[in-house]
Structure 1
Amino acid sequence: MIKRLILICSMLLLTACTASESAQKKAALYQFDELVEVNSIDNFRMDGWRTMDNRTVFVDSRPRETYLIVLNGVDSNLKFAQALVVSSRMGKVTVGFDSVMTGSEPRSRTQIKKIYRIESKEQEQQVRAKIESFSEED
């Protein structure tokens, strides 16, 4: 009986480690060292947005300012959302404090993990290609 219990516990621990390793590997994919990372967006006014997958969204703030927002988790509604809400405090969106919600599930908030400044359309296309390659690795 004890051997069986030890075997079951060992299997559960191994499964948990594998799942944790997989989650860490997936989170590492969303690191964009080639981009300028910022802690906040000041004077935030969303003019448009484009989702890439269930963890990332490009947000246009004021003409000619685009940011990549990486979420702290998965929002399964994000890719198909008709409306998007980004929380802010006095016009400032801050990593770790603010979150993203879709119009279909406004009570379901996903915290912002990282914000990157996008300098050009070409840079946005490069990031899009990189994110699209993530789904190929699954």
Structure 2
Amino acid sequence: MTTLTRWVSSLGLMAALILTGCTSPGEPATLEEKLAKHGFAQGEAIREVKNYRIDGWNYLDTEHLIFSAGPSGDYMVTLSQSCTDLRSAEDIAFTSTNNNLTAFESVVVATPTGRRRCPIESLHTLSKLAP
């Protein structure tokens, strides 16, 4: 084996080890696992959430969040693009009209440099998992 071949092989092995170290085996990987961690399962896709009020919300990943709308239920919002500011957001809001949330709205996240709008792609109901 030449020195260059050994060097390239070593570099490839180091890269594989580094990438393997970046994944955390304790964290949920799939959306289903992330929802289950919060006690939910994904329900049906819906067109809108009527007369909602945000009673609480949780970050799932840069493209998904769940929120409680009080007595009307719990919902998952899927964003049309990654919203990295969502992870560190303390509060969120929606750009809804007439107290109805649809896929034509956006999630508004406050950042140190101002507000960022993250467009919504879809909405789903959530069902609580049995304990």
Task: Flag whether TM exceeds 0.5 (same fold).
Answer: yes
3-state SS, counterpart of residue 77 of structure 1: helix
Between Structure 1 and Structure 2, which shows a larger proportion of helix residues?
1
Show the 5 A alignment for 1:1-138: 35-63=43-71, 65-95=73-103, 97-104=104-111, 107-120=115-128, 122=129
TM superposition score normalised by structure 1:
0.59
Q: Unaligned regions of 5+ residues in structure 1, if any?
A: 1-28, 126-138
TM superposition score normalised by structure 2:
0.62
Distance 2:70 2:43 in 1: 19
Distance 2:43 2:127 in 1: 8
Distance 1:119 1:107 in 2: 31
Alignment RMSD: 2.4
Alpha-carbon shift at residue 85 of structure 1 (Å) = 1.0
Identical pairs, percent: 21
Q: Unaligned regions of 5+ residues in structure 2, if any?
A: 1-29, 32-41
Asked which structure has the greater RCO (Cα within 8 Å, sep 6+), the reply is: 2
Q: Deviations over 1:2-48 (max 9, x none)?
A: xxxxxxxxxxxxxxxxxxxxxxxxxxx87xxx621001100011111
